[in-house]
Amino acid sequence: MAKVTRVTSTRKPGRYNIYLDDEFAFAVDEKILTSYQLFKDTVVSPELREEIIAAEYEQKAYQTALVYATGAIHSAYQVRLKLIEKDFPDFVINQAIARLIDLSIIDDQHFAEVYVDEQMQSGKFGPQGVNFKLRQMGIDALMIEDALVKYDDESQRAHVSRLVTKLFDKYDRESTSMARQKVMKKLYQQGFSQAIIEKEIAQYQLNNPVDDDEMWENLSREAEKIVQRYDQLEGWEFERRVKSGMYRKGFDLNQVSSWLKDYQHR
């Protein structure tokens, strides 16, 4: 059986080179070094050597998971994906994650609560959006439900009110109808309550009535684009195509007809 004849530290702190019978055998983590007493004159049988190498592999997975999990807060599922990316087998991944959970380094409930707090602060996602994101990160449904209790309607309304103003400003060159549709769609995609979205949009439009001159300017700009597209057509077909294009953009057909009359009398 082989005997440890030399132990040297590597350039990486906490790792050591092990020499058996004056030949390099393997490198191990400090935890493995002390666990197996790999000091000078320790006898290492072939069976023990295999056990040490397996333990070192498991420790490597653990250290990889530890660095990832402590660099920024992560869910167990995210850590699992990181270890899969490093090609560790399932049983090694399971052991590493179990150790981190036992040490409370991985805590999915805490992760969910922190994520909800962050989204409530930023207002990027509503409750349903947060729910969807947390499920993508492997958080249990009951944990998500518990964490979302704090995300109340008042918090949603504050964020939706701010976003409604921001989005209507973004879509101010659209028709009123199209702008409303886009604002609704965007906020719904972000996971906010449909009832709250509709209420805040209604309040915004009550406080910000349509400016007729601005509306006519938007209509004229879009109509000019469509007219150029169909300027090779004439008569009824030309009007039909223009009206159809403007209707799809949410403009009132009576106003489009008025614009066409002005256009045809130029």
Nearest to 189 by CA among 177, 201, 179, 197: 197
Position with higher pLDDT, 54 vs 265: 54
Q: Looking at residue 239, what is its pLDDT?
A: 78
Answer whether 74's CB lies under 8 Å from 111's CB. Answer: yes
- Residues 59-65, mean pLDDT to the nearest whole number: 94
Segments in 103-229 forming alpha helices (H): 108-122, 127-136, 141-148, 153-170, 176-189, 194-207, 212-229
Answer whether 97's CB lies under 8 Å from 76's CB. Answer: yes
* Three-class DSSP category at 8: strand
Reported as a single tens digit per residue, the pLDDT across 217-262 is 888 888 888 888 877 777 788 778 878 888 888 887 888 788 778 7
DSSP string, 38-97: --TT-EE-HHHHHHHHHHHHHHHHHHHHHHHHHHS---HHHHHHHHHHTT--HHHHHHHH
Half-sphere exposure of 97 (CA within 13 A, CB side): 20
Reported as a single tens digit per residue, the pLDDT across 185-204 is 999 999 999 999 999 999 99
Sole residue written with tokens 């947060």: 130
- Average pLDDT over the chain, rounded to whole? 91
Q: What angle do CA 19, 22, 24 make, to 5 degrees?
A: 40
Whether the model pTM is above 0.85: no
CATH pick for 1-44 out of 3.90.1330.10, 1.10.10.10, 3.40.50.11030, 2.40.10.480: 1.10.10.10
H or E element: which one contains 238?
Answer: helix 235-248
The whole-angstrom separation of Cα 70 and Cα 86 is 17
Lowest mean pLDDT among 56-65, 72-81, 83-92, 168-177: 168-177
CA 193 → CA 23, 126, 152, 186, 187, distances in Å? 68, 7, 11, 12, 8
CATH pick for 153-207 out of 3.50.50.60, 1.10.10.10, 2.150.10.10, 2.70.50.60: 1.10.10.10
Main-chain dihedrals φ then ψ at residue 252, nearest 5 degrees: -70, 130
The fold of 50-106 is: Arc Repressor Mutant, subunit A (1.10.10)
Residues comprising the chain, all counted:
266
161: tokens are 């009110």
* Three-class DSSP category at 265: coil
- Domain spanning 212-264: CATH 1.10.287: no
